[in-house]
A and B are shown apart, each in its own frame.
Chain A
Amino acid sequence: MKSGPSPFKRLKRQLLASPLDVLITLLVLALFGWITATSLHWLVVDADWRVVSQNMPLYAFGSYPSDQRWRPLLWIALLIGLTLMTLLGPRKGWLRKALPLLWIAMVPFGVVLLAGGIGLLPIPSHAWGGLSLTLLLTACSGVLALPMGILLALGRQTSLYVIQRSCSVYIDVMRAVPLIAVLFFGQLLIPLFLPMHLEVNRVLRAVLAFALFAAAYIAEDVRGGLQAIPRTQHEAAAVLGLSTQQTLLLVVLPQALRTALPALTNQAVGLLQNTSLMAILGLVELLGISRSLLANPDFIGRYLEVYVWLAGVYWLVCTAMALLARHLEHQLSPTTSATAKR
């Protein structure tokens, strides 16, 4: 676009060149104005936000016992803190080096905090809920699914026929079945495979089913990354005397995962949003707790408020994840052209 004399004049030329342009511009402006005005009016005047403001602890923690709520609160606060530190914190030093470990540690830490044991009062999983449960489901299933997905992708590439076929079949079957069906199967089938006395709780069953499902998609993303690596990289590693395993861990996977990262970010965001399906299984994560609030006679009919609020919360978390992923992408390509030129 040419840089005209002034932005104002350029606007005028583009939007008000002929009488028809003027008419269209005015109509579009009027439509925007009307939509904005009615939305704002509803947001500020018509909407009754008590269904949100009075139930903040429920959205955050579900029916977690109130004297123990500091535990999920601490976990969420640490997550927010880590996010801020990653995005805005110092670029160098020991803190930056410790970040990956801290992030990984957050998953078991969250489980221990919420479930209890080790000196903490045990809280049964049916009392977990709200945002803390949503985040825990996402984190746990993601952490399980990623290594499974990588192994599946590698399995699909191996020359061992049986392993290669079974990985392919697994991936194809999982991708052909809707997630909700996998989740129901998980709830109904996993207990059948286990001995009677060993009861796996509902959250764990959901996480397992979820991870098994996501792994198939992750495997395909990783495969894309693996295929992007030229054969010559294997040769270079081979002539240096690296073993097959070393080549994989030191040369191939770091590059493949870096290439697959944008697609993996998509999976992570999808994972978070798909946890809302677990409301149908009776888990009271964000969507579940909202549905039970809407069943409360005090807040009858406040659908719009609740769902607008939910959309806001999901948007915020997804944005944070996207920012973190972009940051990671940047960290892993010290030169922007590092992957472009090979």
Chain B
Amino acid sequence: MTPAIQATGLVKSFGHGQRALDEVSLHVKSGEVLVVMGPSGSGKSTLIRTFNGLESLDKGHLEVLGIPLDADNDERQIRRIRKRVGMVFQQFNLFPHLSILDNITLAPIRVQRRPRKEAENRALQLLTQMGIAEQAYKYPAQLSGGQQQRVAITRALALNPEVMLFDEPTSALDPERVKEVLDAMRSLAKDGMTMVVVTHEMGFAREVADRVLFMDEGRVVEISKPDELDKSVRWQKMASWGGQH
């Protein structure tokens, strides 16, 4: 079975010679949950953003759901990838001028050309699963951070993606709101979604991840199974910081 994501020798640098990604190679199997950890500036966000073309590649080869992407960063290939890969950001990035329901149905109606009625029913059904159906007609600014992030997850799911990318989904949340978002991601993983999650949440990594990948200075420095984590020096170091950053 072909892997959902296959990366070979990815290189990306930002101007001043420093490499954000330095020969990164990895693969994500279909149905697998890969958690990416590492200190700030280690390149984990850059890595996950290359997977759907938000960051261009300088070198290397990427294959997402069988769609190849090279250093030429072909716009058409990127668009094909984005149609099948959902993404959730640290800052939610909901559209403030649209209601929750419109936020979710915008792409299904405009990109997938589904009828409005059908798209709205699907959105309401997803919102109910997320436990926030009663927020459908409110606006993003009226919701708490945790609710906004769950809307952002719903918005991505409404397009029926085959892979979900999470870029520090709980880092901008109040501590008491983190759990509700992690719970939503947990049930998503249970349903067999292929997920790549950049996070500092150690509990989530241990419980949900199939593999945990550590990055440092743009390089993959370690890949562990959850049951091997206690032996990992990096894991112990993170634990001693209280799991934060």
Please report A residues at the B interface, Cβ cutoff 8 Å: 232-233, 235-242, 246, 250-251, 254-255, 258, 332, 334-335, 337-342
Q: Which of A242, A258, A335 contacts B110 (CB 8 A)?
A: A242
Chain B residue with the shortest CB-CB distance to A334: B139
- B129-142 CB contact bits vs A (8 Å, 1 = yes)? 00000000011111
- Asked if B96 and A250 make an inter-chain contact with CB atoms under 8 angstroms apart, the answer reads no
B223 at the interface (CB under 8 A from A): no
Contacts of A241 in B (CB 8 A): 79, 82-83, 107, 111, 159
Chain A residue with the shortest CB-CB distance to B85: A239
- Asked if B82 and A239 make an inter-chain contact with CB atoms under 8 angstroms apart, the answer reads yes
Please report B residues at the A interface, Cβ cutoff 8 Å: 52, 54, 79, 82-83, 85-87, 89, 91, 93-97, 99, 106-107, 110-111, 138-142, 155-156, 159
Contacts of A258 in B (CB 8 A): 97
Complex-state Cα separation, A165 to B15, whole angstroms: 26
- Asked if A254 and B159 make an inter-chain contact with CB atoms under 8 angstroms apart, the answer reads no
Interface centre among A235, A236, A337, A342 (most CB of B within 10 A): A236
Query: What are 21 A-B contacts defined by CB distance under 8 Å?
Result: A235-B93, A236-B89, A239-B85, A239-B87, A239-B156, A240-B82, A240-B111, A240-B156, A241-B82, A241-B111, A242-B106, A242-B110, A242-B111, A246-B111, A255-B96, A255-B97, A337-B142, A340-B141, A341-B96, A341-B141, A342-B96
Min Cβ gap A342→B in Å is 6
Contacts of A240 in B (CB 8 A): 82, 106-107, 111, 155-156, 159
Contacts of A342 in B (CB 8 A): 96
- Asked if B93 and A236 make an inter-chain contact with CB atoms under 8 angstroms apart, the answer reads yes
- Asked if B97 and A239 make an inter-chain contact with CB atoms under 8 angstroms apart, the answer reads no
Interface centre among B94, B111, B141 (most CB of A within 10 A): B141
Contacts of B155 in A (CB 8 A): 240
Chain A residue with the shortest CB-CB distance to B109: A250
Complex-state Cα separation, A136 to B120, whole angstroms: 43
- Asked if B54 and A233 make an inter-chain contact with CB atoms under 8 angstroms apart, the answer reads no
Complex-state Cα separation, A43 to B97, whole angstroms: 49
Contacts of B156 in A (CB 8 A): 239-240
Interface centre among B85, B89, B96, B159 (most CB of A within 10 A): B96
Given contacts A233-B95, A240-B106, A241-B111, contact A335 B142 (CB under 8 A): yes
Complex-state Cα separation, A251 to B103, whole angstroms: 10
- Asked if A232 and B111 make an inter-chain contact with CB atoms under 8 angstroms apart, the answer reads no
Contacts of A233 in B (CB 8 A): 93, 95
Min Cβ gap B5→A in Å is 15
Interface centre among B99, B110, B142 (most CB of A within 10 A): B110
Contacts of B159 in A (CB 8 A): 240-241
Contacts of A339 in B (CB 8 A): 96, 141
Min Cβ gap B27→A in Å is 22
Complex-state Cα separation, A277 to B140, whole angstroms: 46
- Asked if B141 and A338 make an inter-chain contact with CB atoms under 8 angstroms apart, the answer reads yes
- Asked if B96 and A235 make an inter-chain contact with CB atoms under 8 angstroms apart, the answer reads no
Contacts of A238 in B (CB 8 A): 54, 82
Contacts of A235 in B (CB 8 A): 54, 89, 93
- Asked if A335 and B141 make an inter-chain contact with CB atoms under 8 angstroms apart, the answer reads yes
Chain A residue with the shortest CB-CB distance to B102: A250
Min Cβ gap A234→B in Å is 10
Contacts of B54 in A (CB 8 A): 235, 238-239
Contacts of A237 in B (CB 8 A): 95
- Asked if A337 and B107 make an inter-chain contact with CB atoms under 8 angstroms apart, the answer reads no
- Asked if A246 and B82 make an inter-chain contact with CB atoms under 8 angstroms apart, the answer reads no
Instruction: Name the 4 nearest CB pairs between A and B, nearest first.
Output: A236-B93, A240-B107, A241-B111, A239-B87
Complex-state Cα separation, A336 to B94, whole angstroms: 17
Complex-state Cα separation, A239 to B82, whole angstroms: 6
For the A-B complex with A241-B83, A241-B111, A335-B139 known, give 9 more contacts whose Cβ atoms are closer than 8 Å: A235-B54, A236-B89, A236-B95, A238-B54, A241-B159, A255-B97, A332-B97, A337-B142, A338-B97
